[in-house]
Amino acid sequence: MFYDTLDNQRAKYPDFPIAGRAVPSGWEHRATDTWLHYGPADRTLPSQGWKIHISSCLADAEKTLDIVWDYCVGRRISFKFLRGPRVAMMQSSKYADRGSSGKLVTIYPVDEADLELVIKELDELLRGVTGPYILSDLRIGEGPLFVRYGGFAERFCLNANLDRVLAIEDPDGVLVPDRRGPSFSPPPWVTLPAFLEPHLAARNAVTMADLPYSIESVLHFSNGGGVYKATDTRTGETVVLKEARPHAGLDAVGRDAVARLRHEADMLRRLDGLDSVPAMRDYFTVGDHHFLVQEFVDGPTLSQESVRRHPLIRAAMTPEDAAEFTEWALRMLGQVERAIASLHERGVVFGDLHPFNVLVDGDRAVLIDFEVASLVEDNTRPTLANPGFCPPPDRLGMEADKYSLACMRLSLFATMSTVLIPLHRAKVVHLAELVRETFPVPRAFIDEAVETILGPERSAEPATPAASAPEAPGTTASTVAQRPDTRAMRELPLPGRASWTSLRDAARRAILASATPQRQDRLFPGDSTQFLPGGGLNLASGAAGVLYALAVTGAGRFPEYEGWLRERAFAPEHGTGLGFWDGLHGVAYAFDAIGRREDALELVSLCLREKWDRLGQSLYSGLAGIGLNLLHFGSATGDREILDGAGRIVDLVADRLGTVESVPEISGGAHPHAGLMRGSAGPALLFLRAYDATGDTALLDHAEVALRQDLRRCVHRDDGQLQVQQGWRTNPYLDEGSAGIGLVLRHYLERRENADFRQALHDIGPVATLRYYVQSNLFNGRAGMITALAMGLRPDVGRHSPEVADQVTRLAWHAMPYGGGLAFPGNQLLRLSMDLGSGTAGVVLALGAVLHDQPVTLPFISPPGTPAGTAVPPESERR
């Protein structure tokens, strides 16, 4: 139901047995969620150097750990290892990070002589141990040992995008990023030890130069291997190469990518000749990597084509648009259903049906990715599945495909909505109603899908899934044994139907029902980022954001929970951020907003004593947010130290700003981000608030440059909307999208006229009144658009306009029951969230911005026509 760490599920996912050994006398021990660290207390390690990684399959893991423990303890060498089998499996799973996957153990030699000796001796001791290749490292021979140069101590610096990242020191003593990519690439100033040179030569000797295929581009990467578009140089045919790495890319039952690729080849041979299945061309190995060659289908995925055609994400939709899309969608769904039927006739269950695994070639639907396909006669459940289409444990064999087909009938009209179903299966009834209200879909077509997803009536006797069937997230055998009770959804107060106070109180019930004051790491469940240091406290994902949203919307104060937050904020764990949305400055702001100014000022004073000058520029975690917070408290108190700190930050952000051309034309990925929270709009807002405080017009010039930097990364869609260009998509949202930029443009235009900015604001406006958003949340969903409209993103759309009322009503797409109240899902819809940035508290804030009788705003964003300033009304005035 909620994101959690394995630390809180040790009974279900225990550590390796060796973790129970007593810590050696004179040694230090430290545990994290992922690693167990050990080292002699009297031995100081260098801050960086060559480290040794050991890779191992799960079958060899305990033997490997026994050998390493005895070796390292006996020679007083520091080391760490993964806590348990579950962590090890996750680290080697299909979508684990390619740069760090495969590591079971890390060993820290004190120098190069120690490095050479440890490698020589452990290479003998670990003979016969097998494991995945660690892509970031250099492999020693054919065994499980790998080496990489990197940091031993945890140090940080800013990278080229001004993000705070792990660092190492260059020869001039400057901290630079410690790069950890999916290839061996030591820092340019580091000389490879001579004894490693033969291993580098052996690595470089393995190439694809002699093969009859020329790789043209990368289609996809996973931890299991790549998928490449290539040309057969013998025939000129365009083909697809699928790569599989041994012992990597594990699925739910531990099968690696090679086992699945071999299986896929068997399935393609069995299905040869079907028009809906790519033809297999070849199968070969290079080194220990396996490659499957298949027909290239020149077409988008069904997901991509659906998004391209979808009328709900256009600036306007007519009944004719809805009818045209419906006709196309029904035609494509018919093609997919016929394709699945043809597989079943050949005795094959597809097992991983979702719109990303269907290619559209005209009106032809082609199924791709048969690595988890199975035989009908085996009557099993898939070992990998997309969460929005993953059948519950009682759907086996062909029934699993039928379940996924039913989900596709809904998801093609409401993108990603079926991801909500594992959280509360009766939600499907509500989703079906919303789809029928929006599109002219035949009722019987949708009703049949609903019946398939709900399943037939069952007794209370729990179903017994196949032994090999993994549980779907959020489900167990007992939760799917009975037909879901739809009463909770029917009785749920929904936005657009229930009153503001009913909605707010229902959300408060859900939030309070989720509270866990007995835990140290979090009070309210939220986004997975809350498990980073300080993430359970902050505004975005932690307790501060929830308590802030409840207080400013009139939902009340909760002294017990305020005490929980205060206790941890004044004794934060190592690594807790200072930033506004991700750290202690945001906690201070929340304390002030709920009526605890003394605590707020004490926390601000604590933050001012920290080293904040090395932080990035952003509003979310960097100097822009801290500067705005200091301006807020400085204007409220007149404190000279706070105001001086704000001034120093404004100067530093201005010095780092650069020119309009200092940023590329794409946001995110390897490039600096655009947008309010992480881009140049945050610094622009800082300059505008500093101008309000000082009257210095040079600050308006800086704000103009910053805003032009973000607009440089925006593009017009076909219907005229101006959104942030991210390369793989355009982004309209509050966080990194154009809506957040638009709010700062509005603030700028209240202070200085600019024709370019006026036009840009006009073109951004429609992004906030689209009919469908994949998510409901504040940062990246509909709640953020509602808040943006309340804050004046569109001058022609006020708080009480029909457009705002429509957006409020459409929050019902994501409404979920929890704890006798109203809750909303977090990022990617995979779990419920109560936090401000991704979950229920953010929706409450958005609803309050348009429905509450007292002002409810985003921090530092004023409604149109309000006097310049950032002060939050006292708590007593918001009751």
Cβ neighbours around 468 below 10 Å, total: 11
Structure tokens at 583: 């750290």
Distances in Å between the Cα of 10 and the Cα atoms of 2, 84, 101, 633 are 16, 9, 22, 43
Residue 7 to residue 34: CA distance in whole angstroms: 9
Can you spell out the DSSP letters for 643-658?
HHHHHHHHHHHHHH--
Question: Which residues, at least 6 apart from 108, have a Cβ–Cβ distance to it below 8 Å?
Answer: 39, 45, 49, 51, 52, 77, 78, 79, 152
Question: Which residues, at least 6 apart from 180, have a Cβ–Cβ distance to it below 8 Å?
Answer: 99, 100, 136, 150, 166
527 counts as catalytic:
no
Residue 274 to residue 449: CA distance in whole angstroms: 26
Burial string for 274-305 (b: 16+ CB within 10 Å, else e) reads bebbbebbebeeeeebbbbbbbbbebebbbeb
Tokens 């049906």 map to which residue? 353
Please say whether the beta carbons of 258 and 246 come within 8 A. yes
Catalytic residue among 178, 232, 352, 692: 352
Under DSSP, is residue 551 helix (H, G, I), strand (E, B) or coil?
helix
Partners of 723 in the beta sheet?
715
Burial string for 435-467 (b: 16+ CB within 10 Å, else e) reads bbebbebeeeebeebbebbbbeeeeeebbebee
E strands in 792-842:
816-818, 821-825, 832-833
Question: Which residues, at least 6 apart from 648, have a Cβ–Cβ distance to it below 8 Å?
Answer: none
Under DSSP, is residue 158 helix (H, G, I), strand (E, B) or coil?
strand
Can you spell out the DSSP letters for 552-600?
HTTS---HHHHHHHHHHHTSPPTT-B-STTTBHHHHHHHHHHTT-HHHH
Active site residues: 352
